[in-house]
Amino acid sequence: MIWLYSITSVIIVSLISLIGIITLFTAGKKLCKLVSFLVGLATGALFGGAFLHMIPETFKEISNETVASIFILFGIAIFFILEKFLHWHHEHHHHDKEDHIKPFGYLNLVSDGVHNLIDGIIIAAAYMINIEVGISTTVAVILHEIPQEIGDFGLLIHAGFSKSKALLLNLLSASLSLVGVIIVLIVGNSITSITAYILAIAAGGFIYIAGSDLVPELHKTNDFKSSMKQFLSIGLGIAIMFLFVIFE
């Protein structure tokens, strides 16, 4: 029963990544405006998710605050190095047909994949306590994932992926939660002892992407009206993450 409930739950969570399908019916200027809004939303959601959800959880699980902070900084460093590698690869393969893809698109897939893996581990671990805890945890993850996945989809489109490829990659990233569930169900709860450290690294990744990649993208538009819309979309992303912390 634990296997059935856990796998069914993560399949439902993974399918939320397909929420971007609604944009398939949006074209031209409307899509550009929507993507601009979603990049702001993703910026707020990444900052909010890191500072309001992931980092407090990390400090709760890792008793030594200095060690926890080092792992968050380690996450930032990993994503800095990874982006450097992607830029080098980008320059040395400039004839590649994927050349137009901005490196932060790939970075987001990596950090979100790690986050989804942890979600799977958390869901399976909750079901191993009891079914009720598992269901409530799944609902919390679903509520958290909806704005995250909408923002991620907009970010991938902004990075240069086609709508169909962005949907597919978002789904593949989300499906890592299934890997997390299977790991826990096979290995057992012992794997949960290292999730706080993985979460700290993922939080560092979220901060890095939001601060070094998305904020500069938002600064490319300087007119007052667009800037206010960006500010409001960032605020909305943070507010949504704050609401999830209240109701967790």
Q: Cβ(141)–Cβ(122) under 8 Å?
A: yes
At residue 219, φ and ψ (nearest 5 deg) are -75, -10
Q: For the purposes of burial, counting CB atoms within 10 Å of the CB of 212, is it exposed (0-12), middle (13-18) or buried (19 or more)?
A: middle
Convert the pLDDT of each residue in 88-100 to its tens digit.
655 555 545 545 7
Q: What is the mean pLDDT of residues 208-225?
A: 85
Taking 80 as the threshold, does the pLDDT of residue 242 lie above it? yes
Quick one: pLDDT at residue 86?
67
Distance, in Å, from the CA atom of 129 to the CA atom of 247, rounded to the nearest integer, reads 21
Quick one: pLDDT at residue 67?
95
At residue 130, φ and ψ (nearest 5 deg) are -170, 165
Mean pLDDT of the chain: 80
Q: Which of 230, 187, 226 is nearest to 40 (CA)?
A: 230
Convert the pLDDT of each residue in 104-118 to its tens digit.
788 888 878 887 888
% of the chain exceeding 90 in pLDDT: 10
Convert the pLDDT of each residue in 149-191 to its tens digit.
777 787 888 888 888 888 888 889 888 989 988 888 888 767 7
Q: Cβ(32)–Cβ(165) under 8 Å?
A: no
Does this model's pTM top 0.75? My answer is no
Which of 42-51, 144-153, 192-201, 231-240 holds the top average pLDDT?
231-240
Distance, in Å, from the CA atom of 182 to the CA atom of 42, rounded to the nearest integer, reads 29
Q: What is the mean pLDDT of residues 51-77?
A: 91
Taking 70 as the threshold, does the pLDDT of residue 240 lie above it? yes
